[in-house]
Amino acid sequence: MKMKGARVLVECLKEQGVDTIFGYPGGTVLNIYDELYDEKALKHILTVHEQGATHAADGYARATGKVGVVLVTSGPGASNTVTGIATAFRDSIPLVIMTGQVSRHLIGKDSFQEINITEITKGITKDNFLVMEPESLPDIVREAFRIARSGRPGPVLIDIPKDVQQFDMEYTPISIEDNTNSPESNPYSDDDIEKALKYINESKCPVIYAGGGVISSGSHAELKTLAERINAPVSCSLMGLGSFPGDHPLFMGMEGMHGSFCSNYAFSHGDLIIGLGTRFNDRVTCKTDEFAPRAKIIDINIDPEEFDKNINPDLSLCGDLKSILERLLKGVKPKEYSTWNKNVENWKNNLDCESPYNGSLSPEYLLKKLKELTDGKAIICTEVGQNQMWTARYYSFNEPRTFISSGGLGTMGFGLGAAIGSAIGRPDKQVINIAGDGSFKMNMQELATISKYQIPLIQIVLNNSSLGMVKQWQKLFFNNRISETDVTPDVEFTTLAAAFGIFSMKLTRNEDVEEVLSKALSMKKPVLIECIIHEDNMATPMVPLGSGLSNCKHVG
């Protein structure tokens, strides 16, 4: 059948199983928005800013496991998505970003709202496309979704000139098999599997390190089976939280600069590290030449580019994590609870004590009470900074896709948009965004989106009138020279919420936490809670700069 390019695009989106688009209209995408006018199968969520749309699509993808979809106009509309694209790229999140472009005959002439978005995003996408041949549009859309889903997931951009959207072309619908978790290749060998089994079966002090790849590959059940069979304590990266139950006896918490004492000591004393879908980045290894000094390292990853980037593993297995774990489980020999497990339990019980805090409202108490009241079943999004580290440490995640945060890029302003996307994608879940006042102010305009659609999420703002994490570093590593990180209270967040028609409450002491949180959770509508915390609260324990993991300590 013959139809306009804009209609073909919409049909291809439905063909790919898309149900929601996050976007913002403009001149070069009006043909597409005109097609959406009568379209019942696709829901469009209008955000306040294109960055918010991209973060929302990202949150939707993380919460659902589907591809997040963004639609924006050319020029500044396209460039406003760059931070969101980079955030998704660093955390391996599948997105398809569709940008409008000026008509083909105007490209390269500095036309109004023209920008070379494919060149700009080349380094932060798995691939990108400029549609110069109208008839290629259906194949490009299908290929974009295939690339976004396959292998190591990630964002793909399609730049669509305005005249291509108006072009009459043939469209033949096809059915495409969903290949979300299928790898592009399986380079690992039978010998690699046998060597890995030898390492695992001979180890006396094994540690499993689970990253975001466990979640994206759907391998959390295999991870739990492996850990229990060999009695291996488990640590998670920030992106891996939720891949292993946080209340499981074998769970040690997060590892790295802001990891638990128990995890960091286990990495320093274990004889085998089994890395599953993780990048071993600098926040994890800290001082690389002191990382896991007594251990052999098995690194299992779908992306061969990650091998030998930060550490030199003794064995690298490149391929689909789920299929590799299934093969390993056929040959892994059970291990009894041992002296190693007793040592880990001792570190956990005697070292991972409560951190000191100042002021009458404790972030630790707040987050643990939130976990109790939600039974750990909510989707928790965060901004970046102390709020993120406190949440990662104290909420305790038991299910995959319930902790949503910017890891690799560390994007302040991510959480609110991500919470919107999470709530749209998972209306069956309570969604809560934990923010610091600094991060929240970066994209707080998306409160308008929450208000417009009456999205029943809870926004918690930990307000210490400072850029807390940056200030913490200035105190610890810059001789307490506090430069531009003290923020004179300039926003009354409860008043701001009222301006958007959002109900709000304020917390100043632990005694009121349960009452306020319980009320917010019962309301089933947008709620903002401003929490006044002391500026001297620190995210602790912490490995000081230039130190190895065994130097993990309370700070402040």
Beta carbons of 297 and 275 less than 8 angstroms apart: yes
Beta carbons of 81 and 75 less than 8 angstroms apart: no
Beta carbons of 280 and 299 less than 8 angstroms apart: yes
DSSP assignment, residue 542?
B
Which residue of the set 50, 222, 306, 530 is catalytic? Answer: 50
Question: What element of type H or E holds 135?
Answer: none
Which bin fits 110, alpha (ψ -120 to 50), beta or left (φ > 0)? left
The three-state secondary structure class of 299 is: strand
Does 309 participate in catalysis according to the annotation?
no
Half-sphere exposure for 128 (CA within 13 Å, toward CB): 23
CA distance 225 to 221: 6
Which residue of the set 169, 442, 444, 469 is catalytic? Answer: 469
DSSP assignment, residue 268?
H
Does 112 participate in catalysis according to the annotation?
yes
Distance spanning both ends of the chain, measured CA to CA: 68
Q: What is the DSSP string of 488-538?
A: -----HHHHHHHTT-EEEEE-SGGGHHHHHHHHHHH-S-EEEEEE--TT--
Which residue of the set 112, 132, 478, 519 is catalytic? Answer: 112
Q: What is the DSSP string of 402-460?
A: SEE---SS--TTHHHHHHHHHHHH-TTS-EEEEEEHHHHHHSGGGHHHHHHHT---EEE
b (16+ CB within 10 A) / e for 111-143: bebbbebbebbeebbbbbbbbeebeebbebbee
The three-state secondary structure class of 236 is: strand
Question: What element of type H or E holds 273?
Answer: strand 272-276
Which residue of the set 4, 66, 126, 162 is catalytic? Answer: 162
Which residue of the set 3, 39, 113, 514 is catalytic? Answer: 113
Does 469 participate in catalysis according to the annotation?
yes
Look up tokens 């000081």; give the residue. 544
Cα R_g (the chain), whole angstroms: 24
Give the β-pairing of 2-4 and 168-170.
Answer: antiparallel
DSSP assignment, residue 544?
P
Active site amino acids = 50, 112-113, 162, 469
